[in-house]
Structures are given as structure tokens and as C-alpha cells.
Amino acid sequence: MRKSPYNATVTGKIMLTPDLMILRIRTDESRDEFKAGQFTTIGLLASEHRSPNSVIPLDSINPDSLIQRMYSIASAKNETRDFEFYISQVKSGQLTPRLFNLSQGSRIWVDDKIQGIFNLNETPKDCNIVMVATGTGLAPYISFLRSHVMEHKEIKLAVIHGAAYPWDLGYWSELTFIKNAFSNFYYFPTLLKPDETWTGLTGYIQKHLDAGILEMVGIDVDPCKTHFYLCGNPKMVESVTEFLERHGYSKHCTEKPGALHVEEY
Ligand SMILES: Cc1cc2nc3c(=O)[nH]c(=O)nc-3n(C[C@H](O)[C@H](O)[C@H](O)COP(=O)(O)OP(=O)(O)OC[C@H]3O[C@@H](n4cnc5c(N)ncnc54)[C@H](O)[C@@H]3O)c2cc1C
């Protein structure tokens, strides 16, 4: 009999909608401490069942193969055994329908390595931090805030989160709590498909940046004063990048530091 590749157990699964969940996983062995905002790879055997509300993809896959995908870690950087992920189901995808079929106690594979340069370590301590996300692109910011919010009392921090419906605003309670607890933290959720109960922002993130939503709370769109983080839908990343480039921003990379940090999914 072949040895199982699994090295971790599902400890929690919170379904926010049928296609959006928070997944908690405990690894059998601790990982090294990581930087908030980094990602790891998780996987399941192709022989695992898919969720009932998924669509069978056209391409077949060997049932013995381990399907692996990368996910940003939402938990704090010092939680090296208990990992939280914020995941949306791609109905015709290979891994997410299998992840959505897991339950508490299910076994899963988690890579030993935690990677990525999307973190706060190279952002000057006196610069404001604006975190822009659509959908599950919020995950690395939850890790940023859980790990670092207490250290950044002298600067302003903002999360701008775009989603379709109110129920797609994962971590709304946690972000609202942080907003109420820290006067230097601003939370701007914006919806494309609000219902009649929604009294907040609507429409694309770009529209609110153009309208000066950040300047209204004293955050200058200036690369010397404010670092931007973008994560999520490629169209949002493209349009906000264009907006920031017009304000003198350049993309951060290992060779050339910049005030615009982008995580591409
Ligand atoms: C660094 C990094 C971090 C990531 N972090 C997260 C995270 O925190 N949460 C999260 O949910 N995902 C995250 N992703 C995306 C994730 O790795 C998978 O690509 C995604 O979950 C789809 O996997 P799948 O196997 O179900 O679909 P696949 O079998 O890989 O894809 C099936 C088809 O769906 C398309 N597709 C892929 N992703 C999407 C999507 N999001 N929406 C619509 N169509 C899509 C593909 O182009 C492909 O044609 C991250 C990716 C990277 C590179």
C-alpha cells in the first residue's frame, strides 16, 4: 500500500457562502516562523471527492496525483502550526472543489516551505500602508493586521476591499472590530452588487481612489509617504496600478525597491 502524502488535519471550515470559505489546518509538524503576507502550497490527491456544487472539468487527471496550489496565509506570522486560508471555489477547478468537500478532521498536504516577498518588512516604518483587495485577495492583509497592527500606531493603515455581494465580505466583523479599536485604521468595503440593506460604498475601487477617499482621511497618494499593496482580481490590479503610476509609484521587486507591492493570483 502506498504511503499517504498527507501531513496536516483540517481543524475548521467556515462556509461564508457555498463558494467562499475560511479553512483552518493544523500541520503535524510546526513550520518555521514566516513573514505576514506570505503564501504556502496545499494539496489533495485527485482521488478525493469534489464538492456537490462543482462542475467536472474537461481535462482528466491521474487519481494518484497530488493536486497542489498556492494560498496566502491569513493567520498571524507566529502561528506556525495552525494555518488559516481564505479560499474561493473555482467550480471547474481541480483543487478548490476538493477543498470545499473537506470536513473537520479530514487529512490534507501542506508544503514545508512558506514563500513570497509580499510582506511589510521593507516598508519604511514612517510610511502609511494601504491594502487593496478584491475577493480572497484580502487574506494576506488579515495576516498583516493580526501580526502587526499593534506596531503601527504612528502611521495610518487602510484596507479597501471590493466584493460583489455583502455576504462576500469575509472578515467584515474582524475588520470592523479593528476599525473601532484603532483610530489610525480605516476600512472601506465596496460592493458591485449591493442589496437594499447596504449603506456603504458601491462600485469599483478605482472610482473611490479617483474621488479621493484616502485623502479624506489624511492619507496622501505619494510614494514617499504611503506604500500600497494590491492583491486580487487582475483587472483591479491593472487599473489601480495605472492610477498609482500616474502618482509616481513603481512596482517593488527584490532588485528595485518601490512603494507599490503586488501579489498576482
Ligand atoms: C501566490 C498565490 C496566492 C494565492 N492565494 C489564494 C488565496 O488566498 N485564496 C484563493 O482562493 N486563491 C488563491 N490563489 C489561487 C490558487 O492558487 C488557485 O489558482 C485557485 O484556488 C484555483 O485552483 P483550482 O485548482 O481550483 O483551479 P485550476 O484547476 O487551477 O483552474 C481551473 C480554471 O479556472 C481558472 N481560474 C483559476 N483561478 C481562478 C479564480 N480565482 N477565479 C476564476 N477562475 C479561476 C484557471 O484559469 C483555469 O482555467 C493564489 C495564487 C497564488 C499564485
Neighbours of 237 (CB within 10 A): 20
Tell me how far the alpha carbon of residue 186 lies from the centroid of ligand 1, in angstroms: 28
pLDDT band at 3 (very low <50, low <70, confident <90, very high): confident
Task: Specify the ligand 1 atom closest to the Cα of 92.
Answer: 32
At the topology level, CATH places domain 128-264 in Rossmann fold (3.40.50)
- How far apart, in whole angstroms, are the C-alpha atoms of residue 106 and residue 99? 10
Dist. CA 263–CA 265, nearest whole Å: 7
CATH of 8-115, one of 3.60.21.10, 2.60.40.10, 2.30.40.10, 2.40.30.10: 2.40.30.10
Q: How confident is the model at residue 247 (pLDDT cuts 50, 70, 90)?
A: very high
Please check the confidence at residue 1 and state whether its pLDDT lies above 70. no
pLDDT digits 0-9 by tens, 146-204: 999 888 889 999 999 999 999 999 999 999 999 999 999 999 999 999 999 999 999 99
pLDDT digits (tens, 9 = 90+) for 217-239: 999 999 999 999 999 999 999 99
pLDDT per residue over 79-106, tens digit each?
A: 999 999 999 999 999 999 999 999 999 9
pLDDT category of residue 59 using cuts at 50, 70 and 90: confident
Question: Please, which residues bridge with residue 154 across strands?
Answer: none
Confidence grade of residue 122 (pLDDT, cut at 50, 70, 90): confident
Q: How far apart are CA 20 and CA 135, in angstroms?
A: 9
pLDDT value for 152: 81
5 grid coordinates: 502524502
pLDDT digits (tens, 9 = 90+) for 8-47: 999 999 999 999 999 999 999 999 999 999 999 999 999 9
Residue whose CA lies nearest to ligand 1 atom number 33: 93
Residue 149 three-state SS: helix
265 C-alpha to ligand 1 centroid (Å): 7
Distance 214 CA to ligand 1 centre (A): 30
Ligand 1: centre distance to CA 118 (Å): 17
Annotated domain spans of the chain: 8-115, 128-264
Residue 90 in contact with residue 28, Cβ under 8 Å?
no
Q: Return the pLDDT at 121.
A: 86
Which residue has the least CA distance to atom 32 on ligand 1? Answer: 93
Whole-angstrom Cα distance, residue 32 to residue 74? 16
**Stretch 228-255: mean pLDDT:** 96
pTM for the full predicted model: 0.95
